[in-house]
A and B are shown apart, each in its own frame.
Chain A
Amino acid sequence: MGRITEEQIKEDLIKFIKKEIVDPSVELDQNTVLSEAGVDSFSVVELVLFLERKHGITIGEKSMLPQNFRTVQTLATCASNSQ
């Protein structure tokens, strides 16, 4: 599998979160603080599993830090660096 761009990861994450996690009324972009949008620990696991399933990206134990799950941008950067 080729390297996925950070932009592509961001786009996929936003689509997934809008489709599966948040209410359609919730506005979300790459800089939205995910915890403030209601993303809880359960949803964080869903995001990690989504990245594994969709792009084969495994976020390493050491990278599973709150700052990496703060926004779609930080998560995409972390995922991109984990490839």
Chain B
Amino acid sequence: MQTFPLTGFDTFLLALEQQYNQNDIAGNTCYYVIDLEGVLDHEALADRIISNEYFQVLSSLRYEKEKALGIPKWHLRSKDTTRIEHFVTDQLIPQVVLDRRLGADVGCLSLDTVARSDGRSTVILSWNHLLMDGYGAVLFLKRLLGSDDSFDPALLMSYQAPVYNLSAFWKATKAKFFIDYTSRPRLSMISPPLYDVNSQERVSVLDFDPKQVRQIEAAALHSGARFGRSAFFLACIARAVQSVLVQRGDGVHNFWIPVPRDNRRKGALGPIIGNRLSFLFYRLKKKQMSSIESCVDAINNQMRDQIKHKSHESYNHLMDFMKWLPLSLYYYLVKRRGGNAIASFLFTVAADHPSDLETIMGQRVINALSLPANAYPPGLTFAMMNFRGSLKLMILYHTQALSDAEYSGMAKQLQQELLMDESQG
């Protein structure tokens, strides 16, 4: 396993990464934050992490620019000397960790521990999205911090040679047309296309306890979200973002939202490395966003239609063909539509915190957050996640995309609509 190809979506992220680097945005960095009840033995954990074979492989992978007409590949370099750092702070993620650059040329992974003033501890896994998606990260954490850390190289990656035939090319072409058509102008974007270096990144979490989760489930069903509550979440979020635009006095047009889906088989233990994602693309019209019910109905119909036509599979073929393009051309083809933005905002359903990671080094896990990469543009990302019966809605925003005052209004509306609590209105 000295070299192996990036997946189609990895290559997409690599094309984006080039732009982030030019603009000095850490747009591809993801975090998994685990809070522990008591004091963690940092040295013991660091020893365990450094000797973990999964960690050794993942932290030793590098991408090197391929020769012309070559697809991008990972290269396994000599054993990495990644340090496990320790901090004392109450900041959710220490500034040093936020400022640390993780990339295909310098290493995509780091792990830190934090001691809190109330005697609790936190473990933070940071990784560049190029290396793996959030679902892969959870599989990795189970092998890194769980009871079974036996090494099985098959769990790391499973390369399936892409299909390059006429049928695959036709499906890829259909996917490209579909994406271009659904993302056609005019779209409403939450952020200006160019990044301002003074923009700050914020992370906020809306917590819903098990009783509120039941309330949300009832509200979702009442709104027509019959395939699951994610359509209801997306509808409420779209309406809350729309309200921000209305308050700004911006004309509201259509929203275009790509929503990722884990392509791994359910219950699979791997593969860990590589983004195994396909996407459903939702175009929400202004009229559809006039009520939660009509918005949910539009999402349901588009979801059903795309699954029926196996759009997600066609999208994977497209990504496999695009891997052969030079990255700058790739970027141009992706970004030329809709000005400089890729989506109105981003929404994802993060993996649930695994039930077999209830304790780490003898300390009980009391909270976990999976924070996705917050790419700019759009600079506004929503992620929902289950943790022991409670539900979290993580909201990541750049202040250039959303001011703090706008965020407050949006969060209030979201809580009201998710809980269908008219009394707060």
Contacts and interface: CB of A to CB of B under 8 A. Distances in A.
Contacts of B226: 61, 64-65
A66 B266 contact: no
Contacts of B303: 41-42, 45
Contacts of B210: none
Contacts of B264: 23
Contacts of B307: 42, 45-46, 49
A26 B267 contact: yes
B227 A45 contact: yes
Contacts of B217: 66
Nearest to B267: A26
A19 to B, nearest CB: 10
A38 B221 contact: no
Given A42-B307, A45-B303, A64-B226, A37 B267 contact: yes
Contacts of A80: none
A23 to B, nearest CB: 4
Interface in A31-59: 37-46, 48-49
Interface SS of chain B: mixed
B228 interface: yes
B267 A25 contact: yes
Contacts of B349: 40
A21 interface: yes
B261 interface: yes
B230 interface: yes
Nearest to A44: B227
Nearest to A28: B267
B265 A23 contact: yes
A22 interface: yes
Contacts of B265: 21-24, 26
A66 B222 CA distance: 12
Contacts, number: 58
Interface string A4-35: 00000000000000000111111000000000
Interface in A47-83: 48-49, 61, 64-66
A25 B304 contact: no
A41 B304 contact: no
Contact of B268 (A25, A41, A43): A25
Interface string B223-239: 00011111100000000
A20 to B, nearest CB: 9
Given A49-B304, A49-B308, A41 B267 contact: no
Interface in B203-248: 217, 221, 226-231
Nearest to A34: B266
B276 to A, nearest CB: 13
B231 to A, nearest CB: 7
B50 interface: no
Contact of A38 (B229, B231, B266, B269): B266
Contacts of A66: 217, 221
Nearest to B308: A49
A43 B267 CA distance: 13
A49 B280 CA distance: 16
Contacts of A42: 227, 261, 280, 303, 307
A21 B268 CA distance: 10
Interface in B289-332: 303-304, 307-308
A65 B267 contact: no
- 8 A-B pairs with least C-beta separation: A38-B266, A41-B228, A64-B226, A26-B267, A23-B268, A23-B265, A41-B227, A23-B267
26 contacts: A21-B265, A21-B266, A22-B265, A23-B264, A23-B268, A23-B269, A25-B267, A26-B267, A37-B267, A40-B266, A41-B228, A41-B229, A41-B231, A42-B303, A42-B307, A45-B227, A45-B304, A45-B307, A46-B307, A48-B227, A48-B304, A49-B308, A61-B226, A64-B226, A65-B221, A65-B226
Given A25-B267, A41-B227, A42-B280, 12 more contacts: A21-B265, A23-B266, A26-B265, A37-B266, A39-B266, A44-B228, A45-B227, A45-B303, A45-B307, A49-B304, A61-B226, A64-B227
